[in-house]
Structures are given as structure tokens and as C-alpha cells.
Amino acid sequence: MKISYFPGCTLKTMAKDFEDSALASASCLGIELVELPRWNCCGTVYSLTSDDLIHQVAPIRNLIRVKEQEDNRVVTLCSMCYHTLKRANKLVREDKEKLDKLNNLMYREDVKYDGEIEVLHLLEILKNEVSFNQIAKKVKIPLKELKVAPYYGCLLLRPPEIGLDDAENPTILKDFLESIGAEVIDYPYQTECCASYHTVVNIDLVVERAHDILSSAIKQGAEAIVLSCPLCGFNLDNRQKEIKEKFSDFKGIPVFYFTQLLALSLGLDEKVCGFELNFVDPRPLLKSKHLIGGV
């Protein structure tokens, strides 16, 4: 199965491990993710201002790229790209006038957008088209005894009309993690916000929130966090440096992209997981569980 793939900027830089592990795992599961030519920024933060149409040009232009590929679907990995593209898509599907205006703004494009593209997250493809049962059958190294806490953050789930699962009681990551054999930890903070872009100007706030989230998971017995958003990843993983400075008793916990664990469980080469990009090195944990080689 071939499907258009929108990477987004972080996936090419800080979250290269996310992309590499996702592409390799998808290919192992029979899905070819075909990167869109000439993709641009997703728009990053969906603009809630009602007369701020210029901010919707970026996401809609990406959907025009998909249409040019004669595909009717596009897959994202980053939760924020997913949110921004899907929400802009919903806006123009429901407001013909705004769609016309956007098309007029992009009059030099060869095709006009008509709301026909479906925006999907890789998790949805895994759940609905591959199915978690099938994944379970292809798992070579079940992640037995690895206690993982799924972390959804906001943008995969909210607002409910955009989210890919129940905003209050999501299960998609849990179901996924169980299919690759991991032991899933339930904790109350899995849908709390990571503080997002406050990480640029208000590090203290991010440190506090990340500390609350991680400690709650650790308290419930989690050995690792699993997520799908590079920004959440940055706040929960890289900010552990500042967390340790502020909370001396904080021990640290590795943070994975869900595709890293998928690749691992499918028995793919450890290189595609790019563990060296993780701030908190997960390899000692994985070694202790005999999930990767070495001592």
C-alpha cells in the first residue's frame, strides 16, 4: 500500500529518529510512505482567529501537493502537523467561501483544492488498515516486561472533532503498545498538556509540568514514556536536564517515539531507531530487558 507522507520540519532534524523508525517499520508492515514533493511548513500552530485566513495557506497548500500526486490521503507522524492539517482541512470543508478565498490566494497553483484529501496519522493507519492484531503477528521481539506509559498530549485528541480517539479516555496508544507486547501503565496525566511552546520563553512552567507528568508515570511503575509528538518529546525528554536541576530527587526516564518501539519489536536494525538522538539514553533500559544486544 502506497500513501503520501507529509514529514514536517522536525522530522528532518531533531526527530530524525522518529522518521527513520517510522519509514522502516511501515515498509516492514507493507506500507510505502511516499514523501510529498515540495512540501512546506504545516502552519505549526492552527490559528483560531476567524479572519486570519492567510495562516491557512500553508496547510492547504500541502493538501494541494497531495492532490497533485493523485492521492486522496496523506499521513503525518507529528501530532502537531496532524492537528494543523486536519483542522485547516475541516475549516475549508465546512466553509466554501473561505475555501474559494484560499484558492484565489493560491491562484498560481495548477490545481484547486476542494476539500477532498483525508488527513491521517500513522497510528490510524496502523489501527484501521494494518490492524493491531496483524502487527502482533509480525512482532519478532515482543517487548515483554517493558513497562511503558503512553503519553497523548493534546493535539492527537483535541478538539474532539479533530482528535483520533476519545479525548477523555483514549486507548489507541495502549492498544498499540499491547500489540507489540509491552506492559502498559495507566496514569492520570496521559492527556495533560506538556506546556508546548512555553518551552521557548517560560522554561520553568515546562519543567514543572513535565515533572508532574513524568513523576506520575514513574509513580505508577513506568520505565519509559511513549509518545508521537516531537514537541512533547522535547519537553518530556530534553527538559529532563532542567527537571533534575530543579527537583534533585528526580531520577529520569527514557522517552520513546512509538515508532522506535515498533521498529524494535519488528526486529529491525537498531540503527533505524536512532537511539543516539534520545536525550535520556534508553539503551541501558533496553539492554537490561534484553531487547537490544551488548552489555
Partner 1 sequence: MSRIGVFVCHCGLNIAGTVDVEKAAKFISNYPGVIYATDYVYMCSDPGQDMIKEVVKEKKLDGIVVAACSPTMHEVTFRNTVASVGLNPYRCEIANIREQCSWVHQDNKEIATEKAVQIIEATVEKLKLDKSLVPLSIPITKKALVIGGGIAGIQASLDIADSGYEVVLVEKNQSIGGHMLQLSETFPTLDCPQCIATPKMVQVGQHSKIKLLAYSEVEEVSGYVGNFKVKIRRKASFVDWDKCTGCGLCIEKCPVKVLSEFDEFLAKRKAIYTLFPQAVPNKPVIDSNNCLYFTKGKCRACEKNCSVEAINFEQKDSFIEEDVGAIIVATGYDLMDKAEIGEYGYGKYEDVIDGLQAERVLAPAGPTNGIPYRPSDGKIPKEVVFIQCVGSRDPEHYYPYCSKVCCMYTVKQAMLYKHAVPDGQAYVFYMDIRCNGKGYEEFLQRGIEEDRILYIRGRVSKIFKDGDKIEVWGADTLTGRKIEISADMVVLAMAMVPSQGVKKLTEKLRLATDEYGFLTEAHPKLRPVESLTAGCFLAGAAQAPKDIPETVAQASGAASKVLSLFSQDVFYHEPIIGSVDEEVCVGCGNCVSICAYDAVELDLATKVAKVNPALCEGCGACSAACPSGAMQQNNFGKRQIFEMVDAFAKS
> Which parts of this chain interact with partner 1 (CB under 8 A)?
166-169, 188
d(CA 214, CA 218): 6
Give me the least distance between CB of 236 and partner 1, in Å please.
19
Of 151, 287, 128, which Cα lies nearest the Cα of 230?
151
d(CA 235, CA 80): 14
Identify which of residues 171 and 288 has a Cβ nearer to partner 1 in the complex. 171
Give me the least distance between CB of 136 and partner 1, in Å please.
26
Identify which of residues 9 and 167 has a Cβ nearer to partner 1 in the complex. 167
Identify which of residues 150 and 274 has a Cβ nearer to partner 1 in the complex. 150
Of 288, 212, 210, 295, which Cα lies nearest the Cα of 255?
210
Give me the least distance between CB of 188 and partner 1, in Å please.
4
CB neighbour class for 147 (10 Å; exposed up to 12, middle 13-18, buried from 19): middle
In contact, 48 and 121? CB cutoff 8 Å: no
Kindly state the helix (H) or strand (E) to which residue 206 belongs, with its residue range. helix 203-219
Identify which of residues 169 and 248 has a Cβ nearer to partner 1 in the complex. 169
CB 196: neighbour CB atoms within 10 A? 20
Give me the least distance between CB of 138 and partner 1, in Å please.
33
Identify which of residues 153 and 230 has a Cβ nearer to partner 1 in the complex. 153
Identify which of residues 19 and 165 has a Cβ nearer to partner 1 in the complex. 165
Give me the least distance between CB of 40 and partner 1, in Å please.
33
Of 277, 276, 270, which Cα lies nearest the Cα of 140?
270
Give me the least distance between CB of 195 and partner 1, in Å please.
14
Give me the least distance between CB of 226 and partner 1, in Å please.
20
Vertex 79 angle, CA 213 and 31, to 5°: 125
d(CA 211, CA 217): 10
Identify which of residues 50 and 169 has a Cβ nearer to partner 1 in the complex. 169
Vertex 190 angle, CA 189 and 196, to 5°: 90
